Structure 1
Amino acid sequence: MTALVRRLGVTDAVVVGLGAMLGAGVFAAFAPAAQAAGTGLLIGLGIAAVVAFCNATSSARLAAVHPESGGTYVYARERLGRFWGFQAGWSFVVGKTASCAAMALTFASYAAPGQTRLVGVLAVVAVTALSYRGVQRSTRVSLLIVVLTLVTLAVVVVAALTGGTASTANLTGVDPGGVLQSAGLLFFAFAGYARIATLGEEVVDPRRTIPRAIPLALGIVLVVYLVVGVSALLAVGPDALAATAAPLRAVVEAGSFADLSPVVQVGAAVASLGALLALVLGVSRTTLAMARRRELPPFLAAVDARHGVPYRAELAVAAVVIVLVATLDVRGAIGFSSFGVLTYYALTNASALRLGPDEGRPPRWVSVLGLVGCVVLAVTLPLPSILGGLAVALAGATVWAVHRRSTDRLPPRNN
């Protein structure tokens, strides 16, 4: 087997992390967070970043010990047992499928606010067709999307601060009881941070590079999000942010730079489509891996001979996403996604706690804080997200029980 080339330094790894985190989530997550906590969303943003740091650190140490694709689906299977590995994979698939719906709805909210469901469904169909043809996001495309996202966010900040509506009087209405819920919702905007943890075979001196790159990338993203969040709150206040599914467009349209609104629409639309394509690719591949282990229906493991893609898994994911787009709003999709992803990373931290001292185990307080943080944020999400997440977890346990019963009935293999 040919090893990957170690050529990425700290700066390169940070850029990869920025590319994974600076995406469409920032264009949508401030709305439900403002509804939950008012200006207290800024505190929630900091809490979300701390939990993300703990999760990413645990992921990095586990990736160094288990250098194979699958993430926590593999880590939990090896460290906690097959059932917990299945639950991790199940939570990832469910949570990221809801993320697909959130991205499709975000795209539609900015591109065609009057027809969000129809346009959201069309976006899913178009992205699935591209994915089926073997079209994937290259590094250059990812970098282009990051640059476009930063330019768009810069436009939002300038318009918010100089458009004539910015006032400290808008920094009112803190709801302390909703701070943790806002943190759980804003956790969605940090999705992708663990991408750095998967670079073990491609970075120079990974034990030194990855632990340095993770806090740097998270710190930069946190600063960007804080600047955008403070600017948006100064410009329109939390109530206006909470009242729309396209909060950053509303910020620009509120002031004298309303003519720049199309720039924000284009930037958000491109970032959303890019994120949607990346998510469809990731969810369908995890579905393929689980189907190959017969932990999901085996017919989902089919790969198209011509295009080399798991077409049945992609079509199944697209079908579920279309149902979610047709039935959920952006807030519901983000909350449901956050519950699944927080469950996934709770299992990541639990797996990291089973590492030995000779395996590069992270400081115990990091994994404990990450585990507790994930659980607390998950149970403080909006009640429909919690109930839906628990129902899906129960469904996963049922699928696992059926799977175990069917495999236990198989005759033993002959040597």
Structure 2
Amino acid sequence: MARLARRLGVADAVVIGLGSMLGAGVFVAFAPAAAAAGGPGLLLAIAVAGFVAYCNATSSARLAARYPESGGTYVYGRERLGDLAGFAAGWGFVVGKTASCAAMALTIGAYVWPAHARPVAVAAVVALTAVNLLGVHRTARATRWLVAITLAVLAGVAAVGLAGPFEPARLGGLADTAPHGVLTAAGLLFFAFAGYARIATLGEEVRDPERTIPRAVPLALGLVIAVYAVLAVVALGALGPDRLAGSTAPLADVVSAAGHPAFAGVVRAGAAVAVTGVLLSLIAGVGRTTLAMARRRDLPGVLDAVHPHRKVPHRAELAVAAVVVVLVALGDLRDAIGFSSCTVLVYYAIANASALTLGPDPSRRLPVRLLAVLGLLGCVVLAVTLPLTSVLAGFAVLAVGVAGHALRRRVRG
């Protein structure tokens, strides 16, 4: 079996994690989350989603250190819970994150050239797939530049928003917060936080995975939670919950409200760069899980191929790109967010269940088994409190995939 090359250190892994998360929340998920939770509810939703993500990250890091190969929870589920659980995790990740790729591509198109969003989205998918095919070190290098630009733009928005139209009274009070709305918003925001798994998914390409992955995952996640919390406060204080909920470009509206329309154009460009970083790492992550499933013939064996020189799963990434292009032509942005959140929450529920089978870890100060239980319960609660259409679509696709897998196994055996 051809193996991928171990080329990523701690810094590279953190950068890929940041590139997978920065942009997906503030530019895509903030508006529907604010609509569900209201002002202070949005801040609570970030805390809830961040805590569930931290529990999941702890479980994923332990498992990735034990099984340092491409595939993430698809591999962990198979090894710890059995073939069916592993397939459900892999199938949920591939279909959910492929939908995420389409959502990210459409967001790039909407920011760069709204009148021709879909052709721009297709061009972005093609270009970023080409970057990934050059090798994972090129992916990390490109992501490093994209993350640097994104952080600079986000810092500028925070400074302008706080100096301009920011009013603390717009943050609202806890009396206006409904628990169900907070949970729904947290489930939608999980769409943004789930990018840290890209570090574990690339486990076969990380140097010294037992040391690198447990350090990189919580570091990347902690940085993103802090950035999102600051920007949520700024956006709510500048726009108020109602205007934020209806905005298609929240951070551009923040600087416009501050009287800087020229900077709003810079923010739109920065948003396109940020989401480009997310899409770049998404394509890489889905390609690796597709490779892992093809190795075990849970997906067509023709996708089980690693380029002899570039050491990338080139057939898997090309197949993912082709499906994303089709979804871009047919899909809708907000529907993709809820659907992706549902299937990926199932993926992490299986990760936490897998981590529970590892037993306690005396080398860690944190109660890792308790975190796995809380992560499992959190994933289930957030999944079932998403918008009903997202829940029905997500579980229907999971059920079809699992039923087809079980039928195929029965025919074979």
Deviation at 1:244, TM superposition (A): 2.9
1:234 aligns with 2:237: yes
When normalised by structure 1's length, the TM-score is 0.86
1:411 aligned partner: none
Q: Residue 325 of structure 1 aligns with which residue?
A: 328
Separation in 2 of the partners of 1:313 and 1:88? 18
**In structure 2, what is the Cα distance between the partners aligned to 1:360 and 1:246?**
45
Partner of 1:412: none
- Tell me if the contact between 1:245 and 1:330 (Cα under 8 Å) persists in the aligned partners: no
Q: 1:353 aligns with which of 351, 356, 363?
A: 356
Q: Give the corresponding residue for 2:171.
A: 171
Report the CA distance between 1:289 and its aligned residue. Answer: 2.4
Q: Say if 2:198 and 2:282, in contact at 8 Å, map to a contact too.
A: no
1:59 maps to 2:60: yes
Alignment of 1:7-406 (within 5 A): 8=10, 17-39=17-39, 40-131=41-132, 137-163=138-164, 165-172=165-172, 174-195=177-198, 202=207, 206=211, 214-301=217-304, 310-357=313-360, 363-406=368-411
Cα distance, 1:13 vs structure 2: 6.7
Q: 2:64, 2:213 within 8 Å by CA — same for their partners in 1?
A: no
Query: Does 232-241 or 63-72 show the bigger shift?
Result: 63-72
Distance in 2 of aligned mates of 1:65 and 1:315: 29
Larger deviation, residues 175-184 vs 223-232: 175-184
Aligned length, in residue pairs: 403
Q: CA deviation at 1:109?
A: 2.1
How far is 1:335 from its partner?
1.1
- Please say if residues 34 and 238 of structure 1, whose CA atoms lie closer than 8 Å, have aligned partners that are also in contact: yes
Residues 233-254 of structure 1, C-alpha deviations (whole Å, 9 max, x = no match)? 1111122222233222222222
Larger radius of gyration: 1
**What's the TM-score once normalised by structure 2's chain length?**
0.86
Asked if structure 2 preserves the Cα contact closer than 8 Å seen for 1:109 and 1:246, the reply is no
Query: How well do the aligned residues superpose, as a CA RMSD in angstroms?
Result: 3.1
Superposition deviation, residue 275 in structure 1: 2.0
Please tell me whether the aligned partners of residues 59 and 368 of structure 2 are also in contact (alpha carbons under 8 angstroms). Answer: no
Structure 2 gaps, min length 5: none
After superposition, the C-alpha distances for 1:389-415 in whole angstroms (9 at most, x for unaligned) are 01110111122123203432xxxxxxx
One-letter amino acid matched to 2:396: A
Shift of the 381–7 alpha-carbon distance from structure 1 to 2, 3 Å rule, reads closer
Paired AA for residue 401 in structure 2: G
CA distance in 1, matches of 2:294, 2:36: 38
Distance in 2 (alpha carbons) for counterparts of 1:95 and 1:388: 11
Give the Å deviation of 1:281: 2.2
Gaps of 5+ in 1: 409-415
SS of alignment partner, residue 256 of structure 1 = coil
Residues 235 and 92 of structure 1: is their aligned pair in 2 closer, same or farther, counting only changes over 3 Å?
same
- Alignment check: 8 A CA contact 1:14 1:216 kept: yes
Change (3 A) 1:218 1:128: closer
Cα separation, partners in 2 of 1:222 and 1:133, compared to 1, 3 Å = closer
Aligned twin of 1:413: none
Alignment-mate amino acid for residue 375 of structure 1:
V
Deviation at 1:19, TM superposition (A): 4.6
Identical aligned residues as a percent: 60
2:19/2:277 contact within 8 Å kept: no
Partner Cα distance (2:88, 2:209) in 1: 33
